[in-house]
C-alpha cells in the first residue's frame, strides 16, 4: 500500500484526523513556499554582491517574506524532527501563527505519523 493510500485511510478515520492532516498539509505548503522564496531572495542578495554572512542575517527578517514567513522552529524541517509533547506545543504555535482555527485536538502520535507520511509522499 502506498504512503498516499495510508494517509487517505488515516484521514478517513475521523473528522479530527482530517482537520489535523489538512492543517499539516497547509503548514508543509507554506513552509515549501517560504523555502522557495528564501532561496530566491538569497540568490538576489548574493548577485548584488552582499557577503554570505550578511545575507544569512538578512534572511531572518520577516518583512522580506510578508506572506510566507515562518519562524525557524515552525518550519517543516524543524517540525519533522520534533516529537511528543514538544510537537503539540509547536503545532499549536504554528496554528496561532497561521491564524488556523479549524481544529482543536493535536494528538502527538497521530501528528507524528501524518508528518512522516506527508514528508514521504512529498518526496516522490
How many angstroms separate the CA atoms of 106 and 6, rounded?
19
Sketch the domain layout of the chain as residue ranges: 3-122
Cell of 122: 512529498
Give kind and range of the element (H or E) at residue 60.
none
Single pTM value for the model: 0.86
* pLDDT tens-digit profile, the chain (124 residues): 565 676 777 777 788 888 888 899 999 999 999 999 999 999 999 999 999 989 988 999 999 999 999 999 999 999 999 999 999 999 999 999 999 887 667 889 989 999 998 998 877 5
Amino acid at each position: 500500500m502506498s504512503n498516499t493510500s495510508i494517509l487517505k485511510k488515516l484521514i478517513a478515520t475521523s473528522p479530527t484526523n482530517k482537520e489535523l492532516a489538512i492543517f499539516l498539509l497547509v503548514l508543509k505548503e507554506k513552509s515549501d513556499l517560504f523555502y522557495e522564496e528564501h532561496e530566491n531572495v538569497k540568490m538576489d542578495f548574493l548577485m548584488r554582491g552582499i557577503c554570505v554572512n550578511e545575507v544569512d542575517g538578512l534572511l531572518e527578517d520577516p518583512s522580506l517574506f510578508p506572506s510566507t514567513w515562518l519562524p525557524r522552529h515552525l518550519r517543516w524541517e524543524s517540525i519533522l524532527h520534533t516529537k511528543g509533547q514538544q510537537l503539540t506545543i509547536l503545532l499549536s504555535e504554528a496554528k496561532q501563527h497561521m491564524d488556523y482555527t479549524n481544529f482543536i485536538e493535536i494528538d502527538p502520535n497521530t501528528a507524528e505519523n501524518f508528518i512522516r507520511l506527508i514528508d514521504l509522499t512529498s518526496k516522490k
